[in-house]
Structure 1
Amino acid sequence: MPVLARTTTAAVTITLASALVLAGCSDPSDGSTTEVAGTSGAKTKINLSADQQRVTTAKVDSIAARLPAEVRERGTLETVASSTSAAPLNFYATDNKTVIGVETDLVHLVADVLGLKVRITPVSWENIFVGLDSAKYDVSFSNITVTEERKEKYDFATYREDNLGFEAKKGSGLKVDGPEDVAGLTVAVSSGTNQEKLLIEWSKENEKAGRKPVDIKYYQNDSDTYLALRSGRIDLYLGPNPTAAYHAATGRQTEVVGTYSGAGDTLQGLVAATTKKDSGLVEPLADALNEVIRNGTYGKVLARWGLSDEAVEKSEINPPGLPKTDE
């Protein structure tokens, strides 16, 4: 079931700052409003209805002209998305069929600049890359981290910082600052993600240091993961920090007990629009992203989802990413 699929309210008040303080927290599934205050005291009201009233911007002909002819003539940006239960990234509105979220808003904003309409196809995580490889889809805005391994097959235009969050059952007493803090713990993670790669590396590091490895668990969906977390079958869940913070903030009896860069301890991770390598799309995508950063609409989109802290100053093409694992 998608996150908040049973929600009947059109909005939730929330902020996704790194440190969250709950105030008057209640379960949004009962039709109420959840209030969440960050360390600054600021609050963000998030619209969960299908009527999103998205931030829009004007077409820029000089940027649109750089699109591959096939895409320009087709008139649509074929977008593939995953994690449609991952609020506030991509998830279903209260009608249970309209995909909304910060990623969705950003792809619509980029498409405005390019003079294209957006068609979004939700698929499983691994099928994002299958679809890009086969050129079935043009691009994915789906919280994809730039990694050195992925750069061999894909081009990236960055648009947000990538930070991971360790989520625990509320009151667990756990705090995660590094590998030693997860030694011997049972931690769930999604397969094929950069957070899985980091967790595996931490486990190996623990073993080399004479500590217990991490007991890594995989679940088919978020519902199963959170059931395991609430029941104590797992100690932690490692996922994107925005989703962990959102989940904790909406009264689910969990808390974020540590955050970490998606590219490791020596590099700030970056999330990027992802295309098949040499498709000719990455340059106009980066130009469009830099246009919306310049004209302020990008900032408005991040603000409406409570993610202003993850803004980037500019979109970069294929910057340094999460290093390859040393074998």
Structure 2
Amino acid sequence: MGIVQKTVRARTAVCVAFALAASLIFGLAACGTSDGLDDAQANVDLSRVTRDDALAARISDEVKKDGVLTVGSNAVWAPAEFTGEDNETVIGYEIDLIKAVAKVLGLDVRIVNSSFSTIIPSVGSKFDVGVSGFTITAEREKTVTFVEFYRAGMSYAVRAGNPKKVDPDNLCGVRASVQVGTAEETALEDASAACVSGGRPAIDMQVYEAQTQATTAVITGRADVMYSDTPVSAYAVKQTKGKLELLGDPYDVAPQGIVVAKKDTATAEAIQGALNKLIDSGEYMRILHAWGVEDGAIERAEINPDVK
């Protein structure tokens, strides 16, 4: 296995406001108008999702006191969570899933668009839950509780034709862009350290605040490769209409979770029950299918699944 494959990597949400970057560089329309994603949002019908009184009763008093589930999300990562054509409304498959969960629990939803790195520390205070494609890791399970809802891998993307001949199994000396605070950043740091310890040049890491910038770096040639979540990388390829391409197969498929406060076991169990009810009814798969991301579907939702 190559340098990067030897590192322990946990998938996390890498946020992308990619349609905006594409529009600035290639003159593409923003978000849904260029690829039909807003149309997909309009076709997600949650009218069949009904309240479950027993599950609703299990939500902690702190969460249900105002009747609103306040959700922290970094809404710049299509197609998981991003702003629609009005540049305000947050849409995406994760948003539809948390709305469906809230409906089962008899709660309204308020999505708060926030910086990715601030969401987990704010769950239990500013936010009731966090939804931003967070990978479930043993380290994170020490501070928060996760309810698994999806599984996804991580992928590299390069300019079409891979002009720099990037080898995903050996990134030593390669210019690689990544978003700050993500597991992909950690993975590249570990891989770079392995390069140096083996007497080879370090990875030239370009760490950006937003995935928009990381993606643009590859498009403009400032970086040779970017590392992000597989659905995000695939969406970036689609948005650039052939300017980018995926490199190799996805790595490290891992569970993603809805983040709940560590001590709020009641709310975590209620969300788990709501997700499993959505799975049993078929609503879960209908949401994923509407966004074309059904490959990451799970069979049952678990709380803090066993991960490395």
TM-score bucket of the superposed structures, by smaller chain:
0.7 to 0.9
Counterpart for residue 103 of structure 1: 94
Q: Which amino acid aligns with 2:128?
A: D
CA positional deviation for 1:33: 5.5
Contact 1:50 1:98 in 2 (8 A): no
Aligned amino acid, residue 4 of structure 1: A
| Deviation of the 1:244 alpha carbon | 1.0
Task: Tell me, yes or no, if structure 1 residue 146 matches structure 2 residue 139.
Answer: no
Greater RCO (CA < 8 Å, at least 6 residues apart) = 2
Q: Is 2:56 the counterpart of 1:64?
A: yes
Report the CA distance shift for 1:225/1:210 in structure 2 as closer, same or farther (over 3 A).
same
* Partner amino acid, structure 2, of 1:277: K
Structure 1 residue 122: Cα displacement = 0.5
Distance in 2 of aligned mates of 1:164 and 1:65: 37
Partners in 2 of 1:30 and 1:158 — Cα distance? 27
Tell me how far apart the structure 2 counterparts of residues 205 and 95 of structure 1 sit (CA, whole Å).
45
Map of 1:80 onto structure 2: 72
Give deviations 1:174-219, integer Å, cap 9, x for gaps: 46553x2x22211111121111122222222333444332111112
Aligned residues: 286
SS of residue paired to 1:298: helix
Question: Which structure 1 segments of 5+ residues have no match?
Answer: 9-25, 35-44
Identify which of 206, 211, 232 aligns with 2:200: 211
* Code of the aligned partner of 1:65: A
CA shift digits 1:112-142 (9 cap, x unpaired) = 1101110110000111123215x11110111
Q: CA deviation at 1:27?
A: 4.2
**Equivalents in 1 of 2:46, 2:20: separation in Å?**
24
Answer with 229-238 or 87-96: which moved more.
Answer: 229-238
- Cα deviation, 1:122-177, whole Å, max 9, x if unaligned, reads 000111123215x1111011100011111110000001102111111112154655
Secondary structure of 1:94's partner? coil
Cα RMSD, aligned residues only: 2.7
Corresponding position: 1:120 with 2:135: no
The answer to whether the aligner puts 1:310 opposite 2:263 as a matched pair is no
Change (3 A) 1:92 1:48: farther
Q: Which of 239, 244, 255 is 2:228 aligned to?
A: 239
Higher mean C-alpha deviation, range 210-219 or range 118-127: 210-219
Query: Is the 1:4–1:94 Cα contact (8 Å) retained in structure 2?
Result: no
Give the equivalent residue in structure 2 for 1:40.
none
Aligned sequence identity (%): 28
Amino acid across the alignment from 2:248: G
Q: Cα distance 1:283–1:32, how it changes in 2: closer, same or farther (>3 A)?
A: closer
CA distance in 1, matches of 2:29, 2:250: 28
Q: Which residue of 1 aligns with 2:4?
A: none
Deviation at 1:32, TM superposition (A): 7.1
Q: Which is worse superposed, 146-155 or 161-170?
A: 161-170
SS of residue matched to 2:72: strand
Counterpart in 2 of 1:38?
none
Aligned-partner Cα distance in 2 for 1:59–1:286: 14
When the two structures are superposed, what TM-score results if normalisation uses the length of structure 2?
0.84
Return the TM-score normalized by structure 1.
Answer: 0.79
Residue aligned with 1:218, SS: strand
CA distance in 2, matches of 1:33, 1:190: 24
Distance in 1, matches of 2:50 and 2:178, equals 40
* Cα distance between partner residues in 1 of 2:31 and 2:293: 25
Alpha-carbon distance in 1 for matches of 2:152, 2:32: 31
Contact 1:63 1:284 in 2 (8 A): yes
Q: 1:30 to 1:131 in 2, by over 3 A?
A: closer
Partner of 2:13: none
